[in-house]
A and B are shown apart, each in its own frame.
Chain A
Amino acid sequence: MAGDGELKLLGMWASPYVTRAKLALQIKGQSYEYVEEDLGNKSELLLSSNPVHKAVPVLIHDGKPVCESSVVVQYIDEAFAGAGPSLLPADPYERAVARFWAAYLEDKLVAPWMRLFRVKTDEEMAEVMRQMIAAADALEGGLKQCSEGKGPFFGGESVGYVDVLLGGMISWVKATEVFTGAKIIDAAKMPLLAAWMERFCELDAARAVLQDVGALVETEYARAVQARFAAAAPNN
C-alpha cells in the first residue's frame, strides 16, 4: 500500500521549496527522516536521486525518489490520501482552479523573486519588485476565488495545495520585505492575503516548520542583495 514504508526528505534549511514539502508532511501527519544537504558538497544520495536537477527537495519513499516541490506536495497528498485533510479538493473544477493559481504563483511571484538574487541595477530591482507586487495583487483575487468566502485559506476552511505552495515562501517573503525595505503583501491593498499570512503562520504545521525570518535575512544571498542595493532601499 502506498502509505506504508520509510520516508526520507533531502533538504536545505533555507529553501522555501523544501519548506513546502515539510509543510505537506506535517499536515498529513507523516513522520520522516530529514537530511540536511550541503549544497556546496552534494551527497551521493542527492545526486543519484535527482540526477536531472541535483536539487532539493527530494522525497524518498520506500527508496523511490520524488522531485520538484509541487510534484512532491501532490504526491504526499495522493500517496497518503487516507491521512489528514486532502490538500486538493475532490471536485475536478475546484482542482483545476487550485492548479491554475499554483501555476500562476510559480510563474508570476516565485520566478521574479528568484531573479532578485541576480539583478545588477536599480531598474532591474524595481522591475522585479513591481512584478512581485502585481502577482500578489492578482493572488488576492485568486484567494477570493478559491476560498469562495468559506475560510481564510485558498482551501477554504482548511489548508490546501495553493496554501502549502505559497506558505512555503512566507518566511522568504517577510525576509525580502526586510532587506529590500519594500512591502510585497500590503495589508491595505491585499487584506485577504495579509489575513491569510497571519492565519497560516498560526497553524501548528507552520509553527513547526517555517524558518526564522532573521536567519534568512542573515544568509549570504540576502546580504548580497542588501549590500548591492543599500542605497536604493529606504532606511528602516
Chain B
Amino acid sequence: MSSSPAVKLIAFFGSPYAHRAEAALCLKGVPYELLLEDLLRTKSDLLLQHNPVHKKVPVLLHGDRTVCESLVIAEYVDEAFDGPPLLPTDPYDRAVARFWADFIENKLTKPFFMAHWVEGEAREGFEKEGLELLALLEAQLKGNKFFGGDRPGYLDIAASMLGPWRSVVEEVTGVTVAKEEEHPSLCQWARDYSSNEALRPCIPDRDRLLAYFTKNKEMYRAGVRAMLQQ
C-alpha cells in the first residue's frame, strides 16, 4: 500500500465522543494529528466546513475524505487501515457488538448519567433504570477483560464513557451508581480500559478532566434540568 494521506481529527478536550474516534485510531495503530476546538467559544471554520450537517466533533479528515459520527468513524478506521481488527470478523459476533453499542448509545447512556446529575426525587427513577441496564451490559463482559476479548475493540470504544468519564462524574456530583460490589466486572473493566497501553495516548488526563467537569458543573446541571422539563 502506498504511503497513506495524513489523518487529522477535529476534537475537543473532554468530549467522550471525540475520545471514541481517538481510541479507534490508537487501537488500530494509525498516526494522527489532533486539532482541538474550544467549543465553548465559536466553532472553527474547519469544523463548520467539514461537518455542516451536525457542526459537531469528532470529525475525521483522511486526505480529502471527511467522516463524522464517532461510531461511524470507528468502523471506518477499522476498514480503511491495516491493523488489529476492532470489530470481530464473524458476522454474528459483529451483530452482537453492534447491538450492544446501540444499547449503550440509545438506551443506557441517558438514564445512567442522568442518575448522577439529576437532583431530588427524579433521581431515583433514573438510578433504578440505569442499574437495570448496567447489569445487562455487565453480563456481556462474560469473564473477559474487555468486551472485545483480551484486548479492547469496537464495543469497548462504544462503552468508553463508562470508564474515565464515569469516574470523574462520580467525583464531581458525589453520586455513585455503578458500585464495586454490584458491578465488579464493569468497575474492573473501567480500570483496565484506562490503563491499557495502546489507549494511553488518548485517555484524558484525569485531573484535567476533573477540572473541566468541575468548572462546567452548573452548566451540566442546568442542561439536565432543562431536559427534564421537556
Contacts and interface: CB of A to CB of B under 8 A. Distances in A.
A100 B56 CA distance: 13
A75 B95 contact: yes
B68 interface: yes
Contact of A71 (B75, B80, B98): B98
- Secondary structure at chain A's binding surface: helix, strand, loop or mixed? helix
A7 B92 CA distance: 13
Nearest to A59: B95
Contacts of A61: 92
Contact of B102 (A68, A75, A93, A104): A68
Nearest to B101: A71
A95 B99 contact: no
Given A68-B98, A68-B99, A68-B102, A2 B91 contact: yes
Contacts, number: 64
B224 interface: no
A93 B65 CA distance: 7
A74 B101 CA distance: 14
Interface string B17-48: 00000000000000000000000000000000
Nearest to B89: A78
Contacts of B94: 74-75, 78
Contacts of A52: 103, 107, 136
Interface string A32-76: 000000000000000000001100000001001011101110110
A74 B98 contact: yes
A224 interface: no
Nearest to A51: B136
A100 B67 contact: yes
Contacts of B71: 103
A79 interface: yes
B22 to A, nearest CB: 17
Nearest 7 CB-CB pairings of A with B = A92-B79, A78-B91, A92-B80, A96-B76, A75-B95, A79-B91, A99-B72
Interface size class of B (residues with CB under 8 A): 20 to 34
B69 interface: yes
- Secondary structure at chain B's binding surface: helix, strand, loop or mixed? helix
27 contacts: A2-B90, A52-B103, A52-B107, A53-B107, A66-B92, A66-B99, A68-B98, A71-B95, A71-B99, A71-B102, A74-B94, A75-B92, A75-B94, A78-B91, A78-B94, A79-B91, A79-B92, A92-B79, A93-B76, A96-B67, A96-B75, A99-B72, A100-B68, A103-B69, A103-B72, A104-B53, A138-B53
Interface in A69-112: 70-72, 74-75, 78-79, 92-93, 95-96, 99-100, 103-104
Give the residue among B68, B71, B72, B98 with the most A Cβ atoms within 10 A. Answer: B72
A92 B63 CA distance: 14
A66 B75 CA distance: 19
Contacts of B95: 66, 71-72, 74-75, 78
Nearest to B80: A92
A70 B95 CA distance: 10
Contacts of B91: 2, 75, 78-79
Interface in B125-141: 136
Give the residue among A61, A92, A103 with the most B Cβ atoms within 10 A. Answer: A92
Interface string B81-115: 00000000011101100110011000100000000
A13 B158 CA distance: 32
B92 A67 contact: no
A71 B95 CA distance: 6
Contacts of B75: 95-96, 99
B98 A100 contact: no
Nearest to A67: B99
Interface string A133-164: 00000100000000000000000000000000
Contacts of B76: 92-93, 95-96
Given A92-B79, A96-B76, 9 more contacts: A2-B90, A66-B99, A74-B95, A75-B91, A78-B91, A93-B67, A96-B65, A99-B69, A100-B72
A96 B72 contact: yes
A138 B71 CA distance: 21
A68 B73 CA distance: 20
